[in-house]
Amino acid sequence: MESVPSQYQRVLSGMRPTGRLHLGHYHGVLKNWVELQNEYECFFFVADWHALTTHYEDPSIIEKSVNDMVIDWLAAGVNQGLAKIFVQSRVPEHAELHLLLSMMTPLGWLERVPSYKDQQEKLKEKDLATYGFLGYPLLQSADILMYKAGLVPVGEDQVAHVELTREVARRFNHIYGREAGFEEKAEAAIKKMGKKNAKLYKSLRKKYQEEGDQEALSVAQALLESQQNITVGDRERLFGFLEGSGRVILPEPQSLLTKASKMPGLDGQKMSKSYGNTIALRDDPEALEKKLRTMPTDTARVRRTDPGDPANCPVWQFHEIYSDESTQNWVVEGCKSAGIGCIDCKQPVIEAVLSELKPLQERAREYEEQPELVGTIIAEGSEAARDCARDTMEEVRQAMGLAYK
């Protein structure tokens, strides 16, 4: 496994701009991002080109959603000081890397990605027999490899794309990481680390190669990361030399599986825009209250005096997320004995959702009132991402024989 030890890993994730975000996104994805940004160097981006692969005929929703989505991220606590927040199309290097990777990616790898057929089936009304749609997972690989990300937080449906990315990276390194005099260059690089570190590196390498000692591999990788005196090229050589391959130009990422959000929708199904059962992060409090007050309950409770069963009620799923034990006990008893009415039962949920969203909506309002501030955050984040992307592209062009002078 050609991965880099955790404390040095970069995290990268993207989201398609397809409208305002809801509580499902918040509990499923954004809270996770907010935690990650404190631990890792994070890159979070708006995948506008990805959205075009399915919305090429009417991109208006994309255009409307880009800034709105960033406002939702910021409102949820994603912080532009801790994470680089950017828009994919503002870093055109992604297109260049996608193109270059496409040269060496077998067609079969893309045709076999499960989402390719699934989505075509699911979105029958759209013509998805396009070149762009087939290449979509490879564009995602370019997004990830561009930043040499180690960890990619994604949902279950995206794991296959990260897996493809690993294969593409491996193939890339295999083809372009070979160079004349690799061993000699690696030996020379070892010397540059100084006597003590050189000795340590060699013994760890031996341990890993002869005994398969994973711990030795991790320690050696950490040692390489901490070297200040060697060049990027030498570091890549030594990563590869450690594992007996060529240079590792594009390290293989790993997916960081985001647990499926438990957030139910208003009808008890998974919260999703396509089911029309969402609570948007920026629904105004009255609308929100109304949605919850009118949401369905156990159909057995026709009259106030009919007992019900929380197991058959979407409101109960909200209590499971938002209520403490004593409130939950009150619900179960009151429902089964018809001691409480459904409106009484919903009240604590309404209060909990309102108070969860209050600070978030206040923050959102600050950004809504300063659209130029949002523009600046995106511009600065995109510039920072671009700096990093330019470095990677220089290496990639060099490796592929495109650095003509």
Tokens of residue 322, six digits: 């938002």
| Residue 268 binds which entry of ligand SF4, ligand TRP, none, CB below 5-8 Å type-dependent | none
Q: Which of 353, 345, 357, 346 is nearest to 293 (CA)?
A: 346
Within residues 20-79, the interface with ligand TRP by CB under 6 A covers 47, 50
Which does residue 342 touch among ligand TRP, ligand SF4, none (CB within 5 to 8 A, set by kind)? ligand SF4
Site map (CB under 6 A) of ligand SF4, residues 310-329, x = contact: x--x-xx-------------
* Binding window for ligand SF4 (CB under 6 A); candidates: 192-200, 274-282, 337-345, 370-378: 337-345
The interface with ligand SF4 within residues 217-256 (CB under 6 A) comprises: none
Whose Cβ is closer to ligand TRP: residue 162's or residue 220's?
A: 162
In angstroms, the CA 403 to CA 405 distance is: 6
In sequence order, which residues have a C-beta less than 8 Å from that of residue 343 and are 6 or more positions away? 293
Backbone angles phi, psi at 159, to 5 degrees: -60, -40
Q: Reading across the β-sheet that carries 41-46, which strands appear in turn?
A: 83-87, 41-46, 10-15, 151-154, 254-257
Question: Binds 140, which of ligand SF4, ligand TRP, none (CB < 5 to 8 A, cut-off by type)?
Answer: ligand TRP
Considering the complex, what minimum distance in angstroms separates the CB of residue 296 from ligand SF4? Answer: 9
What is the phi/psi pair of residue 350, to 5°?
-55, -45
By CB under 6 A, residue 308 contacts ligand SF4: yes
* Residue 3 interacting entry, from ligand SF4, ligand TRP, none, C-beta within 5 to 8 Å by type: none
**Which of ligand SF4, ligand TRP, none does residue 301 bind to, with CB < 5 to 8 Å depending on kind?**
ligand SF4
DSSP secondary structure string for all residues of 314-345: HHHHHHHHH--HHHHHHHHHHHHTT-S-HHHH
Residue 34's nearest CA partner among 45, 23, 24, 42 is 42
Applying CB under 6 A, among 87, 331, 377, 378 the residue interacting with ligand SF4 is 331
CB of 47 vs ligand TRP, minimal distance in Å? 4
Residue 83 and residue 44 in contact, taking contact as beta carbons nearer than 8 Å: yes
141 binds, among ligand TRP, ligand SF4, none (CB under 5 to 8 A by kind): none
Q: Using an 8 Å Cβ cutoff, are 216 and 264 in contact?
A: no
Site for ligand SF4 in 340-359 (CB under 6 A): 340, 342, 345-346
Contact status: 147 vs ligand SF4 (CB under 6 A): no
Report CA-CA distances (Å) from 2 to 145, 177, 201.
13, 13, 16
Chain residues binding ligand SF4 by CB under 6 A are 297-298, 301, 308, 310, 313, 315-316, 331, 335, 340, 342, 345-346
Chain residues binding ligand TRP by CB under 6 A are 12-16, 47, 50, 140, 143-144, 152, 154, 158
